[in-house]
Chain A
Amino acid sequence: MKRLLVFVKKEFLHIFRDFRTMVILFLIPGALILLFGFVVSTDLKNATVSFLDLSKDEMTQKLSDKICSSGFFKRGENLKSFQDIDPALRGNKIKAVIIFEKDFSAKLISEGKATVNIITDGSEPNMATMATNYISAIVADFNSELAGGGKAAALRVQPEVRMFYNPSLKSQHMFVPGVITLIMILICALMTSITITREKEFGTMEALLVSPLKPIQIILGKIVPYFILSLVDVIIILLLSRYVFDLPVKGSVVLLLAEAMLYILMSLSLGILISTVSKTMQQAIFISLVGMMLPTVLLSGFIYPIENMPKAYDWVSAIMPPRYFIIIIKNVMIKGTGFLYVWKETLILTLFTLGAIGLSMRKFNIRLQ
């Protein structure tokens, strides 16, 4: 026991004295979550739109107010003529220009229709499509308001779409579970495999092997520090998502942390397993990145929904532990479901963990190759 403690202490010293390790452990998780939350955000928020109002009546005033009060758009300068549109868009400050035709309300009343033109900056296709969709939706909403308030109150069935779980379509909801999954694999598998292969490269493993330390003590000594630090990381990420992105954990925090511990343990044993098959740090990094991180990003449902994948990829993804963890964490964090809804995934993850631990214990060599 004393031997294990001194080993754990030594590992902590390695971690705290190495600047790069500290950056990977504490800066990258925070940076990733903020990056995905803010920069890669696919939300439309306060995009500036300009209006070219050629009729300037009550109706256009109402509609433009409605667009600007939606929270998605804010009012930019008012344009005076068609010539202003091009420079305005080129100035890169506004995302869309909305044009109301001449005699807007008169036409609306007499002919029952009037035209709104939406011009967007196609060089930002995502933004452009989103802006068009949002504005169209607002205009449609405006139409139905008019119809509802109007005298021709013909009964119509209005489809009402409501998004469950992510009503405001906040993209961070999708990213937080993904980022946690990714970071855990990165820290746990990559870092543990690196520290063990580093001992091999620097020859200290020889000295450890000649010592009376048992393999289990060496493995535990490597696992314990990273287990604790990874858990701290999960908590940091959850706090960030709670206080920066306003995304609380809907379900039980205890359940979430317990599942996270299981997943961390699994990633750590994968890291040990990687280190048993690689001789150098470079090899370990390569296997961790290509073998762990890429599949996590591509095949776990983090970025591309599994439902949209060809069948073959679906099967491959079935043997990716991150896939199950993402399901668990999405359920607990966003839907707020309890253990009963994720027991299957938990069981699969437990089996993966046991398998990885068993394999790495067996493969851990008590001698040099």
Chain B
Amino acid sequence: MTTKTIISADRLSKSFGAVKALQDISFEVAEGEIFGFIGPDGAGKTTLFRIITTLMLPDEGKVTVLGLDCVKGFRELRKNIGYMPGRFSLYMDLTVEENLNFYATVFGTTVKENYDLIADIYSHIEPFRKRPAGKLSGGMKQKLALSCALIHKPALLVLDEPTTGVDAVSRAEFWEMLKKLRKHNITILVSTPYMDEAMQCDRVALIQEGKILSVDQPGKITAGFSRKLFSIKAPEKYQLITALREFPLVNTAYPFGDSVHVTFRDDVYDDSLIGFLEAKGVSGVIIAETRAGIEDRFLELMEKK
């Protein structure tokens, strides 16, 4: 199957004064993909998206989006990109309906024309169409912003941290909606600071301090985790971590939900650990081997750097 390349970035760099926001970023996104950028705040995700959406110029390197150069072809490109910035870019004093109609007209279309595209999403908020956007909940704002970004049937949808500040149920719903958009052949570029959301993407790029650590399918990224991983639990989590990091045979110890993910030197688990922890005052310890997630791989890649 030959697929079209929608985004092709080649050695992108961008600095703000002394801060290097992006360093030598290269990647490609194929048509119809949900491509995720995963990384902590300040990793450079927003800067990268702004360059792709023609809002910023790269210092070095070149991006081609939908066959157009981001710098020279920005006028043509702006007609075909749907962009949802991190702050939902809605007019809080306008109603749901007014926001949608405004964006539709600005992009030279009508709500009617592309209603089928947003029907799934918009139907959730349609009962509140007379309500000012500012009075909607976070999840509803997100759905409205997505409807506004989609209303002109863009070939590429760019979503900058769409799930930040939204409750867990809405987040899950949101990913379901994105997956349904695939049947309309819309390519989606999405960023998130939540590692668990990486599994929802077709491919992800791990990004940290302006550099891409790895690009692959989420399953392959976790498979790249090279060591044996143990999940260790104890009632006193903070003491547990401090004690673990003092144990000479421990390689890494990172908090993960209610447990601590630990790797050992040479991947050898030594029973003397329990005694060591008890001596440090940590009791009730449960140890089990576990499978690595995206976050573990992310941390491993960071360690290697």
Given the interface contacts A212-B107, A368-B55, does A207 sit within 8 Å of B98 by beta carbon?
Answer: no
Whether the pair A212, B75 counts as a contact (CB closer than 8 A) is yes
Interchain nearest-CB distance for A290 vs B (Å): 27
Question: Quick one: closest B residue to A205, CB to CB?
Answer: B89
Residues of chain B in range 64-96 having any CB-CB distance to chain A below 8 Å: 74-75, 78-79, 81, 83, 85-94
Query: A367 — which chain B residues lie within 8 A by C-beta?
Result: 54-57
Query: A327 — which chain B residues lie within 8 A by C-beta?
Result: none
Given the interface contacts A211-B78, A368-B56, does A204 sit within 8 Å of B105 by beta carbon?
Answer: no
Query: B55 — which chain A residues lie within 8 A by C-beta?
Result: 206, 209-210, 367-368
Q: Is B106 an interface residue (CB 8 A)?
A: yes
Q: Scoring A residues 355 to 369 as 1 if CB is less than 8 Å from chain B, else 0, what string do you get?
A: 000000000001110
Whether the pair B79, A3 counts as a contact (CB closer than 8 A) is no
Interchain nearest-CB distance for B6 vs A (Å): 16
Whether the pair A212, B89 counts as a contact (CB closer than 8 A) is no
Interchain nearest-CB distance for B283 vs A (Å): 50
Q: Is A2 an interface residue (CB 8 A)?
A: yes
Query: A202 — which chain B residues lie within 8 A by C-beta?
Result: 87, 89, 91-92
CA distance A188 to B53 in the complex (A): 32
Question: Quick one: closest B residue to A7, CB to CB?
Answer: B106
Interchain nearest-CB distance for A364 vs B (Å): 14
Among A207, A212, A367, A368, residue most surrounded by chain B Cβ atoms (within 10 Å): A207
Q: Scoring B residues 207 to 229 as 1 if CB is less than 8 Å from chain A, else 0, what string do you get?
A: 00000000000000000000000
CA distance A7 to B106 in the complex (A): 8
Whether the pair A206, B83 counts as a contact (CB closer than 8 A) is yes
Query: B74 — which chain A residues lie within 8 A by C-beta?
Result: 366
Whether the pair A10, B91 counts as a contact (CB closer than 8 A) is yes
CA distance A14 to B79 in the complex (A): 26
Q: Is B26 an interface residue (CB 8 A)?
A: no
Nearest 9 CB-CB pairings of A with B: A203-B87, A207-B89, A6-B105, A210-B83, A206-B85, A203-B89, A368-B55, A17-B93, A204-B89
Whether the pair A368, B148 counts as a contact (CB closer than 8 A) is no
Which of A7, A10, A13, A206 has a CB less than 8 Å from the CB of B89? A206
CA distance A366 to B87 in the complex (A): 19
Query: A203 — which chain B residues lie within 8 A by C-beta?
Result: 85-89
Interchain nearest-CB distance for A319 vs B (Å): 34
Q: Is A213 an interface residue (CB 8 A)?
A: yes
Residues of chain A in range 1-56 having any CB-CB distance to chain B below 8 Å: 2-3, 6-7, 10, 13-14, 17-18
Interchain nearest-CB distance for A25 vs B (Å): 15
Residues of chain A in range 295-327 having any CB-CB distance to chain B below 8 Å: none
Q: Scoring A residues 192 to 208 as 1 if CB is less than 8 Å from chain B, else 0, what string do you get?
A: 00000000001110111
CA distance A18 to B134 in the complex (A): 13
**Chain A residues within CB distance 8 Å of chain B:** 2-3, 6-7, 10, 13-14, 17-18, 202-204, 206-213, 366-368
A–B pairs, 29, beta carbons within 8 Å = A3-B105, A6-B101, A6-B102, A7-B106, A10-B94, A10-B98, A10-B102, A13-B93, A13-B94, A14-B94, A202-B87, A202-B89, A202-B92, A203-B87, A204-B90, A204-B91, A206-B85, A206-B89, A207-B83, A207-B85, A207-B148, A207-B149, A208-B106, A210-B55, A210-B83, A211-B106, A211-B107, A212-B75, A366-B74
5 further contact pairs, Cβ within 8 A, besides A211-B78, A212-B78: A14-B93, A203-B87, A207-B83, A207-B103, A212-B106
Interchain nearest-CB distance for B65 vs A (Å): 12
Query: A3 — which chain B residues lie within 8 A by C-beta?
Result: 105-106, 108
CA distance A307 to B93 in the complex (A): 48
Interchain nearest-CB distance for B184 vs A (Å): 20
Question: Quick one: closest A residue to B76, CB to CB?
Answer: A212
**Chain B residues within CB distance 8 Å of chain A:** 50, 53-57, 74-75, 78-79, 81, 83, 85-94, 98, 101-103, 105-108, 148-149
CA distance A247 to B147 in the complex (A): 55
Query: A368 — which chain B residues lie within 8 A by C-beta?
Result: 50, 55-56
Which of A6, A18, A210, A366 has a CB less than 8 Å from the CB of B93? A18
CA distance A212 to B103 in the complex (A): 11
Query: B75 — which chain A residues lie within 8 A by C-beta?
Result: 212
Whether the pair A213, B89 counts as a contact (CB closer than 8 A) is no
Interchain nearest-CB distance for B219 vs A (Å): 33
Query: B105 — which chain A residues lie within 8 A by C-beta?
Result: 2-3, 6
Query: B103 — which chain A residues lie within 8 A by C-beta?
Result: 207, 211
Query: B87 — which chain A residues lie within 8 A by C-beta?
Result: 202-203
CA distance A207 to B90 in the complex (A): 9
CA distance A207 to B87 in the complex (A): 10
Question: Quick one: closest A residue to B74, CB to CB?
Answer: A366
Query: B86 — which chain A residues lie within 8 A by C-beta?
Result: 203
Query: A17 — which chain B residues lie within 8 A by C-beta?
Result: 93
Interchain nearest-CB distance for B216 vs A (Å): 29
Which of A2, A18, A210, A366 has a CB less than 8 Å from the CB of B53? A210
Interchain nearest-CB distance for A14 vs B (Å): 6
Interchain nearest-CB distance for A1 vs B (Å): 11
Whether the pair B106, A6 counts as a contact (CB closer than 8 A) is yes
CA distance A203 to B87 in the complex (A): 6
CA distance A357 to B196 in the complex (A): 50
CA distance A13 to B93 in the complex (A): 8
Query: B89 — which chain A residues lie within 8 A by C-beta?
Result: 202-204, 206-207
CA distance A6 to B148 in the complex (A): 15
Interchain nearest-CB distance for A363 vs B (Å): 17
Interchain nearest-CB distance for A27 vs B (Å): 19
CA distance A213 to B98 in the complex (A): 18
Question: Quick one: closest B residue to A15, CB to CB?
Answer: B93
Question: Quick one: closest A residue to B149, CB to CB?
Answer: A207
Interchain nearest-CB distance for B58 vs A (Å): 11
Interchain nearest-CB distance for B116 vs A (Å): 22
Query: B83 — which chain A residues lie within 8 A by C-beta?
Result: 206-207, 210
Whether the pair A13, B81 counts as a contact (CB closer than 8 A) is no
CA distance A209 to B56 in the complex (A): 11
Query: A213 — which chain B residues lie within 8 A by C-beta?
Result: 106
Which of B56, B79, B91, B101 has a CB less than 8 Å from the CB of A212? B79
CA distance A14 to B98 in the complex (A): 11
